[in-house]
Amino acid sequence: MLKRDNKFFVTLVVIATIAFAWILLPFYGAILWGLVAAILFNPLNLRLRKAFGQRTGLASLVTVMAVIVIVVLPLLLISISLGQQASGVFDRIKSGELDFAGYLQQVMDAMPAWLRELLASFGLSDLSAARAKLIKAITDANRFIAAQALGIGLGAFDFVLNLGIMLYLLFFLLRDGDRILKNVKDAVPLSTDRKGMLADRISLVVRATVKGGIIVAAVQGMLGGLAFWFLGIPAPLLWAVVMAFLSLLPAVGAAIVWGPVAIYLVATGAVWDGLLLTLYGVVVIGLVDNLLRPFLVGKSTKLPDYVVLISTLGGIELLGLNGFVVGPLAAAIFMVSWNSLQTDEVS
């Protein structure tokens, strides 16, 4: 009888867990980023606790307010400015004021004859068709946005709702995080050493992914945007965001953006501007990763670059922006689990 009760209870726990996860699924992004923010800002919260005489509620509230001021408000302002610049760029492309095909044609005209013939042999010389396709794609995108105005409004409402849930959850994670972590550890059927190792590793990977990824990418994007603004490149904020996003991916980086611009500048006669951008990109933007990442996260927490690249791309493909954290985190848990299994087999 007791054995049957145990089976029924385990089945009940599994069903209840699946049902609860299914209910929370629409807000998994808010929950994920609430957990990430709690891990990142917990050191600040602990310092505030000491300063406020162990008043955990007040310390958590001030920490949440700090997150709003340091993270949320700047991101909202950047998003608004980015949308304005992106709209302006699309309008200029559609009107022909910005003619990327023309820019490429100028670069090709500056190439040696043998290189132009080589590109033509691969069918890469017809740029007018590329420009027509680009304009058509922008026009279709504008029509789609106009037709989906209601959907965009609902998306904005969902964003505000998820942001509110994230900040609300963050407060309780900061206030009750120690007790919640203890309950989770007690419920996990693993040895104490393994539970401690997994908890430490997850925390380290989240810090390494966010601090060593997003902060370094943001700095590289900012430096690239400043260079574009100084050289008079249109929409520097838009290109700064593109460079920051590409900098998140190992072996990709911001050079995919500033490199072609430097080539264009040299090919169109702005030789000193192109050389200056190249030197700035290699020396300043390129060294940010090597200088900042070890300082922010240390060398011991870094996953191999090929693992980070594949897991990040896979996570983004499946989950969007949330996959930037989930992908490397899944890879880290996978590697820690298998390393632990191998260690047990050897011992």
Domain that holds residue 299: 190-342
- Higher pLDDT: 126 or 31? It is 31
Is residue 235 within 8 A of residue 98, CB to CB? The reply is: no
The answer on 78 and 130 residing in a single domain is: yes
The answer on 310 and 200 residing in a single domain is: yes
Residues 196-216 have pLDDT tens digits of 777 777 777 777 777 777 788
Among 169, 187, 205, the domain boundary falls at: 187
Number of domains comprising the chain: 2
Residue 261 has pLDDT above 60, yes or no: yes
Average confidence score pLDDT of the chain: 74
Q: Is residue 19 part of a domain?
A: no
| Separation in Å, CA 326 to CA 84, 284, 323, 332, 335 | 30, 30, 5, 10, 14
Among 187, 206, 225, the domain boundary falls at: 187
**Poorest-pLDDT segment among 87-96, 120-129, 274-283:** 120-129
Cα 23 to chain center, whole Å? 26
Sign of CA dihedral 269, 274, 276, 279: negative
The answer on 197 and 183 residing in a single domain is: no
Q: Is residue 36 part of a domain?
A: yes
The answer on 233 and 142 residing in a single domain is: no
Label residue 327 by pLDDT band (50, 70, 90): confident
pTM over 0.75: no
Q: What is residue 197's predicted lDDT score, i.e. its pLDDT?
A: 73
Q: What is residue 264's predicted lDDT score, i.e. its pLDDT?
A: 75
The answer on 207 and 259 residing in a single domain is: yes
C-alpha–C-alpha distance, residues 203 and 331, integer Å: 14
Name the residue among 266, 257, 267 with its Cα closest to residue 227: 257
Q: What is residue 63's predicted lDDT score, i.e. its pLDDT?
A: 92
The answer on 180 and 32 residing in a single domain is: yes
The answer on 243 and 131 residing in a single domain is: no
| Separation in Å, CA 23 to CA 28, 29, 308, 330 | 10, 13, 30, 22
Label residue 316 by pLDDT band (50, 70, 90): confident
- Higher pLDDT: 248 or 318? It is 318
